């Protein structure tokens, strides 16, 4: 049932992490270079790219139901879209998707999507193909077109893959080994992003702080070196990075937080659990105390730093007392934001075959308690910000007329009324706090 005409319009639907969002944008640029236009809002696209995520359960089922929905809509509209499956589910289960879903025209993995144009042409001729190659030298980036118009906040993937092998996680399998993109490529891409309108760049990597490279004079650099060089781009106003692993945190990166003004006072540092026994079973290779000590070093150089983390509840064998240790860690940190998940057994990972899987009921109850604590702390952090003066980078219009929405340096959503435009940096005083956002008043 594959469509045979060449597509004129496309839509990319990205799920999962920011790296998928970045990949989705790059796929869009490739398709546009091939003469395929983005489909207008609300209109069916000739080509739909499902850019999938495999991190938690039902990922694969979700892809099949998305495919089913597209086929049904196509039947009703009298023409089938070309369907491409990309991202981490494509990498993990591409062959099976091809075999099970005749409506899928092509399957392309996260390291192979630079070949998307040729695969789309082939699919238009009725030739279905799968490409889940993982070339060692990361050939993909060199084959992508230059960046085009972007939002004031842009993503830049600097590092891909993961060598950490936490026992619950699929990423080392779907994204492959840790690879750093070269320094000069990143400086070029960043300069283009800024020319295209970016005022804030978030450096991305599954283990972004494991990035390493060589600067123009051949000196070895860590992520701090890249950040310091990026900070020299005059029109770039803010730099962020995510996601970091506690074990790759260097003294130099911590120091950069105290020295580089453009580096925002925000750190997303997943911890997963507050129990050393669970952390060991997860193969996290840090303890609750070493994690807390690391945060103290950040606070020493940047006392106002906002902290964020990821948590998993119900890892196999997690006892009530061990879960309480997670709550105690949360109390000790006082997170400004956080993401928390029920443990989900992933095919092929060591934890999936561990004994003592925790029941769904228990996981749900623990997740509710954890989220209550995290929400309490996020609200407290927002309330403690009231009265502060800060810059807000305007990202979009708010719901009410004359209202604008942007982010504070601490990554809080701030809305305000006044004269502004998207991409402006507006000085506001934070006047009122809600659980998920703050109201600001513009300063003259």
The Cα-based distances of 11 to 48, 49, 97 in angstroms read: 5, 6, 20
Q: Which of 16, 205, 225, 314 binds ligand F3S (CB under 6 A)?
A: 16
390 is in an annotated binding site: no
- In the region spanning residues 203 to 242, those forming contacts with ligand SF4, defined by CB under 6 A, are 206-207
Which one of ligand SAH, ligand SF4, ligand F3S, none is in contact with 172 (Cβ closer than 5 to 8 A by kind)? Answer: ligand SF4
- CB closer to ligand F3S out of 21 and 292: 21
240 contact choice in ligand SF4, ligand F3S, ligand SAH, none (CB below 5 to 8 Å, kind-dependent): none
Return the range that interacts with ligand SF4 (CB under 6 A); candidates 66-74, 162-170, 180-188, 334-342. Answer: 162-170
Of residues 62 through 81, those in contact with ligand F3S by CB under 6 A are none
Q: Which is nearer to ligand SF4, 159 or 385 (CB)?
A: 159
Q: Is 88 in the site for ligand F3S (CB under 6 A)?
A: yes
Compute the distance between CA of residue 198 and CA of residue 427 in angstroms, rounded to an integer.
Answer: 19
Distance between CA atoms of residues 143 and 132, nearest Å: 16
Which listed range, 140-148, 164-172, 291-299, 322-330, lies at the site for ligand SF4 (CB under 6 A)?
164-172
Q: Which residue among 167, 180, 272, 275 contacts ligand SAH (CB under 6 A)?
A: 272
Please report, for residues 148, 153, 409, 416, 433, the alpha-carbon distance to residue 425 in angstroms, rounded to integers and kept in the order given.
Answer: 22, 12, 11, 12, 20
Q: Which of residues 14-43 bind ligand SF4 (CB under 6 A)?
A: none
Report yes or no: 107 and 85 within 8 Å, Cβ to Cβ.
yes
Using CB under 6 A, which of the segments 17-25, 236-244, 266-274, 417-425 binds ligand F3S? 17-25
| Secondary structure percentages of the chain, helix, strand, coil, to 5 | 40, 25, 40
Site string for ligand SAH, 144-163 (x = CB under 6 A): ------------------x-
CB of 244 to ligand SAH, least distance (A): 8
The total number of residues shown for the chain amounts to: 444
What DSSP line would sit under 273-324, residue for residue?
A: -S-HHHHHHTT----HHHHHHHHHHHHHH-TT-EEEEEEEE--TT--HHHHH
Residue 245 or 257 having the CB closest to ligand SF4:
245
Residue closest to 175 by CA, chosen among 197, 216, 204? 204
106 near ligand F3S, judged by CB under 6 A: no
Residue 77 burial (10 A CB sphere; 0-12, 13-18, 19+): exposed
Q: Is 174 in the site for ligand F3S (CB under 6 A)?
A: yes
169 marked as binding residue: yes
- CA separation for the pair 311, 61 (Å, rounded): 24
List 85, 134, 166, 333, residue binding ligand SF4 (CB under 6 A): 166
Span of 161-169, 193-201, 315-323, 419-427 interacting with ligand SF4 by CB under 6 A = 161-169
CB 423 within 8 A of CB 152: yes
- Taking the complex as a whole, the smallest distance from the CB of residue 7 to ligand SAH amounts, in Å, to 32
Residue 179, helix vs strand vs coil: strand
Region for 348 from its dihedrals, namely left if φ exceeds 0, alpha if ψ lies in -120 to 50, beta otherwise: left
The residues in 336-365 that bind ligand F3S, with binding defined as CB under 6 A, are: none
Give the 3-state secondary structure of residue 46.
Answer: coil
Contact 129, 119 (CB under 8 A): yes
- 166 labelled binding-site residue: yes
> Is residue 206 a contact residue for ligand SAH (CB under 6 A)?
yes
Q: Is residue 341 a contact point for ligand SAH (CB under 6 A)?
A: yes
Q: Does 17 participate in binding ligand F3S (rule CB under 6 A)?
A: yes
Among ligand F3S, ligand SF4, ligand SAH, none, the one that 341 touches (CB under a kind-dependent 5 to 8 A) is: ligand SAH
Q: What sign results for the dihedral spanned by CA atoms 39, 108, 68, 103?
A: positive
Pairing outcome for strands 82-86 and 104-108: parallel
What angle, 0 to 180 degrees and rounded to 10, lies between the N-to-C axes of helices 116-124 and 18-33?
A: 60
The Cα–Cα gap between 412 and 386 comes to 12
Residues forming contacts to ligand F3S in the complex (CB under 6 A) are 16-17, 19-20, 53-55, 87-88, 170-171, 174-175
- As annotated, the binding site for [4Fe-4S] cluster includes 17, 53, 88, 162, 166, 169
Residues forming contacts to ligand SAH in the complex (CB under 6 A) are 55-56, 162, 168-169, 171, 206-207, 243, 245, 270, 272, 310, 312, 341, 343-344, 346
């Amino acid at each position: 049932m594959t469509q045979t005409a060449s597509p004129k319009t496309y839509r990319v639907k990205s799920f999962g992490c920011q790296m998928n969002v970045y990949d989705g944008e790059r796929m869009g640029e490739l398709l546009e270079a091939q003469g395929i236009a983005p489909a207008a809002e609300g209109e069916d696209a000739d080509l739909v790219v499902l850019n999938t995520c495999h991190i938690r359960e039902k990922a694969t089922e979700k892809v099949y139901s998305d495919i089913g929905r597209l086929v049904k809509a196509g039947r009703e509209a009298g023409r089938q879209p070309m369907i491409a499956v990309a991202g981490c589910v494509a990498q993990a289960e591409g062959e099976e998707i091809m075999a099970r879903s005749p409506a899928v025209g092509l399957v392309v993995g996260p390291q192979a999507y630079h070949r998307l144009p040729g695969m789309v042409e082939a699919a238009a001729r009725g030739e279905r193909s799968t490409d889940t190659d993982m070339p060692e030298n990361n050939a993909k980036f060199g084959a992508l077109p230059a960046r085009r118009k972007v939002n004031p906040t842009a993503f830049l993937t600097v590092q891909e893959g993961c060598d950490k092998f936490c026992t619950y996680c699929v990423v080392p399998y779907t994204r492959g080994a840790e690879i750093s993109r070269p320094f000069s490529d990143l400086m070029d891409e960043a300069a283009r992003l800024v020319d295209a309108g970016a005022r804030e760049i978030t450096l991305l990597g599954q283990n972004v702080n494991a990035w390493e490279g060589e600067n123009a004079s051949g000196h070895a650099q860590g992520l701090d070196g890249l950040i310091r060089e990026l900070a020299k781009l005059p029109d770039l106003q803010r730099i962020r990075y995510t996601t970091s692993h506690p074990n790759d945190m260097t003294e130099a990166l911590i120091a950069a937080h105290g020295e580089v003004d453009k580096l925002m006072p925000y750190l997303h540092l997943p911890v997963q659990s507050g129990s050393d026994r669970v952390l060991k079973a997860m193969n996290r290779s840090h303890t609750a105390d070493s994690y807390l000590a690391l945060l103290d070093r950040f606070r020493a150089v940047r006392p106002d730093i906002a902290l964020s983390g990821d948590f998993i509840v119900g890892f196999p064998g997690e006892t009530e007392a061990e879960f309480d240790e997670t709550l105690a860690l949360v109390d000790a940190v006082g997170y400004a934001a956080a993401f928390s998940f029920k443990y989900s057994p992933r095919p092929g990972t060591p934890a999936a075959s561990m004994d003592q899987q925790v029941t769904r009921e228990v996981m749900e109850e623990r997740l509710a308690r954890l989220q209550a604590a995290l929400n309490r702390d996020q609200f407290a952090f927002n309330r403690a910000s009231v009265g502060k003066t800060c810059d807000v980078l305007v990202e979009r219009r708010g719901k009410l007329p004359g209202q604008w929405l942007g982010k504070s340096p601490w990554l809080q959503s701030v809305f305000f009324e006044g004269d502004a435009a998207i991409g402006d940096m507006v000085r506001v005083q934070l006047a009122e706090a809600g659980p998920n956002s703050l109201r600001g008043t513009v300063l003259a």
